[in-house]
Amino acid sequence: MSEPRSQAGRQRRRLTATEVDLERIRQRALLVGTGTGAHSQEEAEAGLDELALLADTAGADTVEAVLQRRRTPDPATYIGKGKAEELRDLAHTLDVDVVIVDDELTPAQQRNLEHLFKVDVVDRVALILDIFAQHATSQDGAVQVELAQLRYRLPRLRGRGTELSQQGGGIGTRGPGETQLEVDRRRLLRRIQRLERDLKDLGATRATQRKARRRRAIPTVALVGYTNAGKSTLLNRLTDAGVLVENQLFSTLDPTTRRLRLPGGETVLLSDTVGFVRRLPHQLVDAFRSTLEEVVDADLLLHVVDVGAPDAEARIAAVETVLREIDADEVPVLYVWNKADLVDPEIVEESLRAHDSVAVSAATGTGIDDLLHAIADRLRARARIVECFVPYDRADVLAALHRAGEVLVEVHDDDGTRVRARLSDRDAGQFAEFTRG
């Protein structure tokens, strides 16, 4: 009897390995681009190209991409009944596993399309949420992504009507009871409330950390930009942070902060943030708002742009849209044209003329010195020069001045040290009792 059990055990192990291999098989996807309203043909095609990149990142291979032009979305199927039937036949012919639509579908539109296609139908929001779920590694990121997913799924809950219900309309059927749909909705709401509490606690922890940094009077610089623009590569180049770098959209989600020494001796905190895309789902913006407060509280934003991107200006506009949503549009910005080694120098020069910016290659290190000096100049421009007198018995104050800003002149006399330093308004207040004039 022992031999068959052993063989069965080996068979179970082989099946488990097979199941793991099957899970790694990439899905076959039919992409449906949607050019509606005022979107130009170029914008619609660029959106479809980006959708293919998103699908690849999520683990799907594009077998066909179709662009549908409409004045307004169809309320029932989004793409119209005739086009939906045409795509149903195409999906069946190509044997696709999933149809991905480049816009947010209403629950009814998604349900109608799935009923027609007989395969999964995923909209742009669900696709991006799925990618975020794959790449969230920290507790903070996992909570934020799950919260965004549940908020997205809540209005899309589907039940089997009243067949699971104890409620009815006749004698003997009235009384307590609820449908399975109501049970699922209540469970989701409880989970959402729990995640919101967890996120609030995590946000309080981050706020305490930010207050501690402000007390230490260290300026903060945040990297922002379109996904895959090279922010993490730039962070690694500047600080040796060791952040994961992949040629994929949203390869890193969790913010990373490192110290950066500027040419004048000042120390700043440099933070990497999640990349943005066009029409970033509002569920994600809301869920990641506490993380993005690092951007709101920064003294300077480095807006990293792929200088070789054919739609660079559109990507800049997409990032600026998100910055406005999180109330960070008033933070000073320095544009950083990255990947300058991969394009014609004339394109780089044209980009530099279009914005107050610096051109770099985070991969090779070209232009990094210019970037460091530009960061220092921008931060100094926001500072003011103060003159202080520090008694000799307050060496701690003199050391704090060196840490907080840039000491321009230091003269020793009989009673103490006269110092002229460049400090931010926030830092200058800490040395008010030693300030002259």
Q: What is the pLDDT of residues 369-385, one digit of tens each?
A: 999 999 998 888 877 78
Domain-embedded: residue 314: yes
364 and 400 part of one domain: no
Domain-embedded: residue 346: yes
Domain-embedded: residue 135: no
Q: Which structural domain, as residue segments, surrounds residue 43?
A: 18-130
Count: domains in the chain: 3
Q: What integer pLDDT is reported at residue 195 of this predicted model?
A: 86
**Using 50, 70 and 90 to split pLDDT, how confident is the model at 165?**
very low
Can you list the alpha helix ranges (DSSP code H) found in 36-97? Answer: 41-58, 81-94
Domain-embedded: residue 252: yes
221 and 362 part of one domain: yes
In one-letter notation, the amino acid at residue 245 is: V
Stretch 41-50: mean pLDDT: 80
Q: What integer pLDDT is reported at residue 250 of this predicted model?
A: 58
330 and 398 part of one domain: no
pLDDT-wise least confident of 2-11, 215-224, 346-355: 2-11
Q: Considering all CA atoms of the chain, what is the largest pairwise distance in Å, rounded to the nearest integer?
A: 101
Q: Which helix (H) or strand (E) covers residue 163, if one does?
A: none
Q: What integer pLDDT is reported at residue 160 of this predicted model?
A: 40
Helix (H, G, I), strand (E, B) or coil at 121: strand
Domain-embedded: residue 167: no
Q: Is the pLDDT of residue 49 over 50?
A: yes
Q: What is the pLDDT of residues 87-144, one digit of tens each?
A: 999 999 999 999 999 988 999 999 999 999 999 999 998 998 888 888 777 777 788 8
Report DSSP state, residue 329.
Answer: T
Domain-embedded: residue 225: yes
424 and 348 part of one domain: no
Structural domain ending residue among the three candidates 77, 104, 130:
130
The pTM of the full predicted model, rounded to 2 decimals, is 0.71
Structural domain ending residue among the three candidates 88, 112, 130:
130
397 and 338 part of one domain: no
Q: For the beta carbon of residue 197, count every other beta carbon within 10 angstroms.
A: 11
Q: Is the pLDDT of residue 163 over 50?
A: no
| CATH at residue 91 | 3.40.50.11060
335 and 432 part of one domain: no
Structural domain ending residue among the three candidates 130, 151, 181:
130
242 and 331 part of one domain: yes
Higher pLDDT residue, 245 or 131?
Answer: 131
Strand order in the sheet with 383-391: 406-412, 416-424, 383-391, 435-436
Stretch 417-424: mean pLDDT: 86
| CATH at residue 296 | 3.40.50.300
d(CA 248, CA 250): 6
223 and 107 part of one domain: no
Domain-embedded: residue 248: yes
Give the DSSP letter string of 216-251.
TT--EEEEEEBTTSSHHHHHHHHH-------SSTTS
Domain-embedded: residue 57: yes
371 and 396 part of one domain: no
Higher pLDDT residue, 326 or 205?
Answer: 326
Q: Is the pLDDT of residue 214 over 50?
A: yes
59 and 72 part of one domain: yes
59 and 107 part of one domain: yes
250 and 372 part of one domain: yes
CB crowding 112-137: b at 16 or more within 10 Å, else e? bbeebbebbbbbbbbbbbbbbbebbe
